[in-house]
Amino acid sequence: MLTIGVLASGKGSNLDAITQQIHAGMLMAKIGVVISDNPDAYALDIARSQGIPAVYINPGKYRTFLEDSQEKQYIECLKKHAVQLVCLAGFMRVIKKNFFSTYHNKIINIHPSLLPSFRGLQAWKQALEYGVKFTGCTVHFVDENIDTGPIILQAVVPVLDNDTPEILHQRIQEKEHIIYPLAIKIISENRLRIKEKRVIIDED
């Protein structure tokens, strides 16, 4: 059974979606640990309520990435809990080279746009401001750059004329909660291959 580790900074809605699929028997995986850079993250409360180890690790002095010494603590914590796949779920820090050397092609993320469009923060707001008619969400592998890793799954969300950033973001998250557990399921069933930058998914 695949053991995943979840890194989260906030409310943990994708973590909740993953645990629901596990409890429903739709996803044959277990969450080994949830780690946060925010001691008040609701994701930690979700983990504790389900008996999942929940750990706050101080990220260090930088705002957008982990200090080297702290990054090592994150990695050691993941190793301690025998994590095989690292899932970023609203983790608001850039992952660096130590993570990639330890978990090569074993770190995935959910991003609220149809990558490669609208990388970075508040992608739903970027989509509204640009005036696109469709946006969505993307599950992708994490690489050394921001939101550029190989794409696993995507879901499309129409942009409506009366959308606000909040409403659009909510509809995107509804799709996130579907495709993120599905991507983990595909990985857990060994149905995924990476060929150059392309992800190839074998039929079940």
Cβ–Cβ < 8 Å for 196, 150: no
Q: Which two tokens stand for residue 27?
A: 């996803």
169 is catalytic: no
Nearest 10 degrees: Cα torsion 78, 84, 88, 89: -100
Alpha helices in the chain (DSSP H): 13-23, 42-49, 68-80, 97-102, 123-130, 165-188
Query: Among the options 81, 111, 169, 177, which is catalytic?
Result: 111
Residue 22, classified by CB atoms within 10 Å of its CB into exposed (0-12), middle (13-18) or buried (19+), is buried
Cross-strand bridge partners of residue 54: 34
Q: What residues act catalytically?
A: 111
